[in-house]
Amino acid sequence: MLRWLFTRGHGFLHGCHKGYSYQQKCSLVNIKLKWVKDRTLDAVVTGDRDLKAASILVSIIYSSPKCCPPIYHLSRHRGQLGLPHDLKLSSFIRRYPTVFHESHVLDSGGTRVPCFSLTCEALVLFQEELYVLQQNQLDVRNRLCKLLMLTRDTTLPLQTIDQLKWDMGLPYDYHHSFVSDHPDIFSLVHLPDGRVGLKLLYWDDTLAVSQLQKNAPLQQREEDITKGSLSFPIGFTRGFGLKRKCMEWLKEWQRLPYTSPYSDPSHLDPRTDVSEKRIVGVFHELLHLTVQKKTDRKNVSNLRKPLALPQKFTKVFERHPGIFYISKKCDTQTVVLREAYNGQQLMQTHPLVEVREKFGSLLNKGLLDRSRGLYKNCAGTVSAENVSVKVNNYEITDRHTHEEESDCKMFSEYESDEPINGLC
């Protein structure tokens, strides 16, 4: 019965009955679907357990003066890393000697303070990441535009975007290095609550098309496209048992009108299944804007007002386990878009993901080196000002100075409490 319900390959629901009424129902259907562990998608999440934290640290170190900040400067950014509270930051960094090189400086009391710089291998990979971002500026711009276009006022606080920037593949210092390059499209504004926000100045109708709408000609039936009742790709964990009542509700729900996440939802009654389908469409599109089609559930918890969503809007993740999978690995809840994965592999791989996979391999090598008792550091003095890295036959020269001196005398200037360049 389940195989009949979902077509092979795309997993779409079919069987639209003639004469079906598209009027909004009075209330949401009280259906609860159980959560079932998906070991394959759990592996996708655990594989990136430390990757995000390490990548952010690499960006912070690279952007800091002399590219070798002391540990207490790095600790100021701990909140961005998502590390367990009982894990010391220095302990996390020392896990990966293939990425981070440790040196020391004496403070005013004569205590040795650890400082961390990047190894040669990490520097090369970060240069490659910069190159990928440079070559995909249009893609970065469109992702950021579409994120703002999902909101009611085409504006989001920088703190909200910061929570999503790594998942969306935005540059670490996007509000300085990227936004300033597009003054005709983006503007930094002061919000009523005193925070700084990013506002979209130009609405592009060509971008106001969701991924579901783009795929419709290939994946949807023509009559469903004509009626505007687009259905979402569905797939369940192997062994997932769906009761007849749930199957019938799901078929009816898929035949409801699809509301574009870029359109005005004010005409929808938030207590109806039609409104719920719009909410599912919003997060379906939001996950498509991420480069790995997943994000932490907490990253979207403060999007209710900007996205014009009702209370308890994240309940749609539990009500639609065939569209979203909630992984509970790594002491958090990660929402994964099922349709984007074939096993553990992304159906479409973004160039930035390929760089991250290389970086993940470098991290794993560091763990293996430590288990063998090898503490491998990049020997010698590295000057990134003179380092030229060839990526895809293009030569990239670093604009920062990256120096390591054995006596670490130059680190005395880090006693200042000035913020790291280009960071909030």
Who has greater pLDDT, 222 or 386?
A: 222
Where are the alpha helices (H) located in 95-210, listed in sequence order?
120-135, 137-149, 158-168, 174-177
Q: Are 147 and 168 in contact (CB under 8 A)?
A: yes
- φ, ψ of residue 43 to 5 degrees: the values are -65, -35
Rank 24-33, 176-185, 389-398 by mean pLDDT and report only the highest.
Answer: 176-185
The pLDDT value given to residue 122: 96
The mean per-residue pLDDT over the stretch 129-154 comes to: 96
pTM attached to this predicted model: 0.80
Q: What whole-number distance in Å separates Cα of residue 309 and Cα of residue 100?
A: 42
Where are the alpha helices (H) located in 24-157, listed in sequence order?
39-47, 51-63, 71-74, 89-94, 120-135, 137-149
Helix, coil or strand: residue 376: coil
The pLDDT value given to residue 30: 64
The mean per-residue pLDDT over the stretch 329-338 comes to: 92
CATH 3.20.20 fits 136-204, yes or no: no
Residue 390's pLDDT band, with cuts at 50, 70 and 90, is very low
Residue carrying the six token digits 């039609």: 274
The pLDDT value given to residue 232: 95
Q: What's the mean per-residue pLDDT of the chain?
A: 81
The mean per-residue pLDDT over the stretch 400-409 comes to: 35
Q: What whole-number distance in Å separates Cα of residue 50 and Cα of residue 290?
A: 18
Question: What whole-number percentage of the chain has pLDDT above 70?
Answer: 80
Strand partners, 199: 155, 187
Residue 382's pLDDT band, with cuts at 50, 70 and 90, is very low
Domain boundaries, the chain: 9-45+222-346, 47-130+354-414, 136-204
* pLDDT tens digits for range 204-249: 999 999 999 999 988 888 888 888 889 999 988 877 777 777 888 8
The pLDDT value given to residue 67: 86
pLDDT at residue 84 tops 80:
yes
The pLDDT value given to residue 391: 41
Residue 34's pLDDT band, with cuts at 50, 70 and 90, is confident
Residue 374's pLDDT band, with cuts at 50, 70 and 90, is low
Q: What whole-number distance in Å separates Cα of residue 149 and Cα of residue 151?
A: 5
What's the half-sphere exposure (Cβ side, CA atoms, 13 Å) at 359?
30
